[in-house]
Amino acid sequence: PASTLDELVALCKRRGFIFQSAEIYGGLQGVYDYGPLGVELKNNLKQAWWRRNVYERDDMEGLDASVLTHRLVLHYSGHEATFADPMVDNRITKKRYRLDHLLKEQPEEVLRRLFRAMEVEEGNLHALVQAMMTFPERAGGAMTAAMVVDPATGEPGDWTPPRYFNMMFKTYVGPVEDEAGLAYLRPETAQGIFINFKNVLDTTSRKLPFGIAQIGKAFRNEITPRNFIFRVREFEQMEIEYFVRPGEDERWHRYWVEERLKWWQEMGLSRENLVAYQQSPEELAHYAKATVDLLYRFPHGLEELEGIANRTDFDLGSHTKDQEELGITARVLRNEHATQRLAYRDPETGRWFVPYVIEPSAGVDRGVLALLAEAFTREELPSGEERIVLKLKPQLAPIKVAVIPLVKNRPEITEYAKRLKARLQALGLGRVLYEDTGNIGKAYRRHDEVGTPFAVTVDYDTLGQGKDGTSKLKDTVTVRDRDTMEQIRLHVDELEGFLKEKLRW
Ligand code: ATP
């Protein structure tokens, strides 16, 4: 695996996986573009998720809701009031930080002074942040007195009282920029699922339990985007809202934690780099009954890859009409605008109730970063040289097969290779690349680095013009394996079956 983020960033840039957005103008902070290889890897990951969660199950429907979000959706979901991170400024450097991130980076003695000043039990960082947000004036003074260090300079700062910063991006729909046209870019894909609950239920006649799955962009104006594509302002989520009967929620929550843990391992992440972390009661979001975070050992630390929450009847209960008739257990805002009942009528008793929801919510970009980190391998070759290999699961690799002509200046060979490329491409296994840049050794090296599992070489033997003067190797090619570097010779007719077998899901 990669030992630092920097070596991944360098590889991603060098080979065309991921670029800083608008780099030619100095870069837009916290926003990245996926290049020719990155887009393939990301699409492969998303397709694998969709295949497993929508196609291979009999209790799931897909959805693709809009990014532009009606203001009332994010009002009643609670985002307008509470989707905010604590923020603090250094008056000297004018640098701004997310409070919890800043505290995590402080030397122990600084933290000890803060715990004492805020009268919080030492070691409980979560409680410290809460106390600081409850008494912001005192907290600002305490931070300055405790000599909280500004990571940008390494010097103690003069800190403002911390305050909340709402992370939602606002925009205006229509030609007039006024309050009436205010809308948001969605900060999570989930709300699009909840507000379509009745549409999906009515059009598919689903019975509980069933789920709705969605992949799409989400936007958060993070105070301090960092760690490459780990924390960004524009990202993608793969989310499931799985609707169950109250009382069956705990069992389904456990089920989804296991299911998701298994899936990430199938994608190539190793078990020892994954941790299922059960949030403590004080860490839980106000609407959650239980949350398990799947953490991954990223090069920059053990951090969240996916969250799996038991959200009870909070979401549908927040957006439904007839709230008082439905026996909602969660604490929801009184909804004065909803026009539909987001509830379920028990087919046996005829009684209406609001389903509970289990939400496995994964970040696509964090998934890509984890896959890259896990796959990144430095190997010493017998010759003493070093090679970098991206040991991605072959099905996820951006390029499945590179077809390489042994020489570039023999039309018979290059034409053969191009025809073979087209034939392999038609198998539908993913991207097949015709590759005639540089020599064979360089091509192998490049494809090792981007994780191409198979390199197929067309040579004189393929044309039936072998050195031994016979044509017994006609229509055979060499197939080189990325991981073992071993080469075998296969007839092109066998090659199809070989690749299908190796690359099928
Ligand atoms: P964090 O605590 O790291 O900010 P979160 O708990 O706010 O994350 P959720 O709201 O649970 O995240 O979002 C679900 C998933 O979406 C996360 O597990 C993560 O994979 C992804 N995600 C959230 N915020 C970002 C971001 N700024 N950049 C990239 N991915 C993100």
The pairing of beta strand 487-491 with beta strand 476-481: antiparallel
How much is the pLDDT for 178? 86
The region that residue 122 occupies, defined by phi over 0 for left and psi between -120 and 50 for alpha, beta otherwise, is beta
Both tokens of 435, joined, read 């590759």
Ligand 1 pocket, residue 361 CB under 6 Å: yes
Ligand 1 center to 442 CA (angstroms): 39
Q: How far is the CA of 363 from the centre of ligand 1 (A)?
A: 6
Rounded to an integer, what distance in angstroms lies between the CA atom of residue 241 and that of residue 226? 28
Output the CA 149–ligand 1 centroid distance in Å: 26
410: which 2 tokens?
A: 């023999």
> Cβ(236) to ligand 1 under 6 A?
no
Q: Look at residue 179 in the predicted model and tell me its pLDDT.
A: 86
How many A from CA of 83 to the centre of ligand 1? 12
Which pair of tokens denotes residue 373?
């980190």
Q: Give the model's pLDDT for residue 165.
A: 97
The residue whose CA has the least distance to atom 26 of ligand 1 is 231
Choose between 101 and 467: higher pLDDT: 101
CA of 191 to the centre of ligand 1 (A): 15
Domains of the chain: 5-71+170-372 (3.30.930.10), 84-166 (3.30.40), 399-503 (3.40.50.800)
Distance 385 CA to ligand 1 centre (A): 40
Cα(67) to centroid of ligand 1, in Å?
17
- The pLDDT assigned to 46 comes to 98
Is the CB of 189 within 6 Å of ligand 1? Answer: no
| Cβ of 260 less than 6 Å from ligand 1 | no
Structure tokens at 160: 């403002």
Query: What pLDDT sits at residue 467?
Result: 85
2-59 confidence digits (pLDDT tens): 899 999 999 999 999 999 999 999 999 999 999 999 999 999 999 999 999 999 999 9
Cα of 362 vs its chain's centroid, Å? 6
The β-bridge partners of 290 are: 310
pLDDT digit string, tens, across residues 237-262? 999 999 999 999 999 999 999 999 99
The whole-angstrom separation of Cα 21 and Cα 38 is 13
pLDDT digits (tens, 9 = 90+) for 91-137: 999 999 999 999 999 999 999 999 999 999 999 999 999 999 999 99
CA of 459 to the centre of ligand 1 (A): 49
Q: Is the CB of 459 under 6 A from ligand 1?
A: no
Is any atom of ligand 1 closer than 6 Å to the C-beta of 237? yes
pLDDT digit string, tens, across residues 167-224: 999 999 998 888 889 999 999 999 999 999 999 999 999 999 999 999 999 999 999 9
ipTM: 0.98
Question: For residue 85, how far is its CA from the centre of ligand 1 (angstroms)?
Answer: 12
CB of 306 within 6 A of ligand 1: the answer is yes
Q: Ligand 1 pocket, 85 CB below 6 A?
A: no
- Model confidence at 361, pLDDT cuts 50, 70, 90, reads very high
pLDDT number for residue 438: 78
pLDDT at 214: 98
Cα of 274 from ligand 1 centre, angstroms: 16
Measure 194 CA to ligand 1 centroid, in angstroms: 19
Residues in Cβ contact with 299 at an 8 Å cutoff, skipping those fewer than 6 apart: 1, 2, 3, 4, 5, 8, 373
366 CB near ligand 1 (under 6 Å): yes
- Among protein residues, the one with the nearest Cα to ligand 1's atom 10 is 188
How many CB atoms are located within 10 Å of the residue 137 CB?
A: 10
Compute the distance between CA of residue 403 and CA of residue 418 in angstroms, rounded to an integer. Answer: 8
Give percent of the chain above pLDDT 70: 100
Q: Residue 181 is which amino acid? A: G
- Cis status, amide bond into 86, omega within 30 of 0: no
Which pLDDT score, from 0 to 100, does residue 176 have? 85
Q: Cα–Cα distance between 394 and 505 in angstroms, integer? A: 10
> Rounded distance, CA 467 to CA 450, Å?
33
Compute the distance between CA of residue 311 and CA of residue 298 in angstroms, rounded to an integer: 27
Q: What's the 500 CA to ligand 1 centre distance in angstroms?
A: 36
Q: Is 306 helix (H, G, I), strand (E, B) or coil?
A: strand
Tell whether ligand 1 has an atom less than 6 A from the beta carbon of residue 360: no
Ligand 1 pocket mutation pick from 45, 46, 311, 361 by most atoms within 8 angstroms of CB: 361
Residue nearest to atom 19 of ligand 1 (CA): 363
Q: Is the CB of 359 under 6 A from ligand 1?
A: no
Helices 125-134 and 136-145, axial angle in degrees (round to 10): 120
C-beta 231 within 6 A of ligand 1 = yes
The Cα 372–Cα 410 span in angstroms is: 37
**Ligand 1 atom with least separation from CA of 236:** 30
Residue whose Cα lies nearest atom 31 of ligand 1: it is 363
How far apart are the CA of 366 and the centre of ligand 1, in A?
9
**Percent of the chain residues past pLDDT 90, beyond the cut:** 95
Q: Kindly report the average pLDDT of the chain as a whole number.
A: 96
Ligand 1 atom 4: residue of nearest CA: 231
Answer left, alpha or beta for residue 426, where phi above 0 means left and psi between -120 and 50 means alpha: alpha
Which atom of ligand 1 is least distant from the CA of 237? 16
CA of 359 to the centre of ligand 1 (A): 13
Q: What pLDDT, on a 0 to 100 scale, did the predictor assign at position 466?
A: 87
Q: Residue 320 C-alpha to ligand 1 middle, in angstroms?
A: 26
Cα 38 to Cα 23: distance, rounded to the nearest angstrom: 17
Ligand 1 atom at minimal distance to the Cα of residue 231: 28
Ligand 1 contact, 220 CB (< 6 A):
yes
Query: Given the CA of residue 85, which atom of ligand 1 is nearest to it?
Result: 4
DSSP string, 151-211: TTTTEE--BPPPEEEE-PPEEE-SSS-SGGGEEEE-SSSHHHHHHTHHHHHHHH---SSEE
Q: Would strands 401-405 and 432-434 be described as parallel, antiparallel, or unpaired?
A: parallel
The residues near 111 (Cβ < 8 Å, ≥ 6 apart) are 103, 125, 128
Q: Give the pLDDT confidence score for residue 468 in this predicted structure.
A: 84
DSSP 3-state assignment of 346?
coil
